[in-house]
Copies of this chain bind each other. A is one copy, B any other.
């Protein structure tokens, strides 16, 4: 889609956040992001489980870890990325999205409950998906869906070994051909 979208998952705690961060990665991939960078100690089992999905369901999605989220964000900002921080305290998504769609390169920062003040400061946009407490997984999903204007729902993934054929009832798994 001519854009480059990276997610920075802030404050991942090994074991405790395993499932939530896994969901974040899979949502990022399914809804058109290119990459997730996880701030926290390297978590091999998380990485393996995401990589297995990519191997089966295709695409070029990447996951990596960083020990210094601030340095990483500064580097990305220098190379032309705009930083969008999703927080219930930010400006409403529905009013800001038009301006955000224009830069083609964005980093979306999603945190847990406690996010340092520096995240708010370095962000080009602090954006709320409602001003209610809910879920970083949901905020990311709704943000990506608005960012790509719903078109990401029809994305095809290259080199998929498993392709699902939509069905009214039941399940239909189609093995695709690898070229």
Interface residues of A (CB under 8 A from B): 19-20, 23-24, 26-27, 29-31, 53, 57, 88-94, 117, 120-121, 123, 126, 128-135, 137-142, 145-146, 150, 152-155, 157, 163-172
CB-CB under 8 A from A152, the residues of chain B are 130
Is B135 within 8 A of A27, CB to CB? yes
Q: How many copies does the complex hold?
A: 2
Is B126 within 8 A of A168, CB to CB? yes
Q: A153 CA to B30 CA in the complex, in Å?
A: 22
Q: Which single residue of chain B is at the shortest CB-CB distance from A128?
A: B166
Is B142 within 8 A of A89, CB to CB? no
Q: Which single residue of chain B is at the shortest CB-CB distance from A123?
A: B169
Is B26 within 8 A of A135, CB to CB? yes
Query: Which of B128, B140, B157, B172 is in CB contact (< 8 Å) with A138?
Result: B140
CB-CB under 8 A from A26, the residues of chain B are 132-135
Query: Which of B134, B150, B169 is in CB contact (< 8 Å) with A27?
Result: B134
A-B contacts, 5 listed (Cβ < 8 Å): A23-B135, A92-B153, A121-B169, A131-B165, A139-B141
Q: How far is the CB of A20 from chain B (nearest CB, A)?
A: 6
Q: A93 CA to B140 CA in the complex, in Å?
A: 18
